[in-house]
Amino acid sequence: MSEPAPAESESSAYDFHDFVVARSAVLFRGALVLTGNRETAEDLVQETLERACRKWRVIAAKDAPEAYVRRIMVNLVNDRWRRFRRTVPHQDGGDRAAPGDQYGQVDTRDQLVRALQGLPTRMRTVVVLRYFHDLSDDEIAADLKISPSTVRSQLARGIDKLRVQFPALAAPSPQQPTEGIR
């Protein structure tokens, strides 16, 4: 005796649950870099998934549901940025770790997230989608509804601005050979 097939709403709810289980960590990492704050990133992911759940039938029917959900997240962060940009002062914590501290990597990561926050919204979004989500120029362009050349331009400018803030990252590391590579 076979079980009856689940109703369409049960099937799409199950698919959404699978999507959340599979992709929420990736969405959270992107949200954390976009927002620079763990609590805000958690709220952003929750609101993104809430909106995606409401439209899941439509999203699930798309060729790339993850891209659609990522676009929801980018739109939400851009809306928040516009809304709060003038009301929330930039907080620069003076509690930096001492040079040579074993937690230096955490400190550098914090500095990088702060530097990303200093980039204009679109530029930051392009950098995050490229380096944290590993998307191509065409995929980013489709997500943001801009041209691939605009993606490349925003990416180049964003990386240049980050390199100004991290001159040690712009130069080759001592572990990398500088001669004989072509």
**Which comes out higher in pLDDT, residue 111 or 141?**
141
Nearest Cα to Cα of residue 108 among 178, 165, 180, 44: 165
pLDDT bucket at 85, cuts 50 / 70 / 90? low
- For 93, the token pair is 């914590």
The residue behind tokens 């289980």 is 21
Residue 37: phi and psi, rounded to 5, are -145, 130
pTM of the predicted model, to two decimals? 0.58
pLDDT bucket at 94, cuts 50 / 70 / 90? very low
- Residues, the chain: 182
Query: Once rounded to an integer, what is the mean pLDDT over residues 77-90?
Result: 60
Residue 166, C-beta contacts closer than 8 angstroms, at least 6 positions apart:
111, 112, 115
pLDDT exceeds cutoff 80 at 38: yes
